[in-house]
Amino acid sequence: MRSLETELALHAAALRAMARALVGAQDAEDLVQETALQALRRPPARPGPVSGWLISILHHFAGKQRRSWHRRQWHEPRAPQRQAPLSPDRIAEHRDTVARLHAAFMAVAEPFRGTL
């Protein structure tokens, strides 16, 4: 009976090939590493061939990765964009506008100001 580490080493090339087919070459290595970590954290319940078990773990993580990518593609364009900080001139202009608006509001006669 071979150890799980030995089985992972034996199946590494096949797992990498499948990962490249599922998520592309750029993310394949991360997917294989996630698969190996999960396999080592939670070894199979029964002894025996593990190739099918490892492939199912790989498929599971590939699905999670694709769903996460699709969610990011949908949410990121809709996220509010970070605005550049205002320049000192813009801050002064804003304060001046607020002060003029306040003065104009306070100049309105009382019965009307209460309504506003």
Q: What is the pLDDT of residues 60-100, one digit of tens each?
A: 999 999 899 899 899 888 888 888 888 889 899 999 999 99
For the segment 76-85, what is each residue's pLDDT rounded down to a tens digit? 888 888 888 8
DSSP states along 34-101? HHHHHHHHS--SS-S--HHHHHHHHHHHHHHHHHHHHHHHHHGGGSPPPPPPPPHHHHHHHHHHHHHH
**Cα(20)–Cα(53) distance, integer angstroms:** 18
Tokens of 56: 């199912």
pLDDT given at position 38:
92
Question: Residues 58, 32: contact at Cβ < 8 Å?
Answer: yes
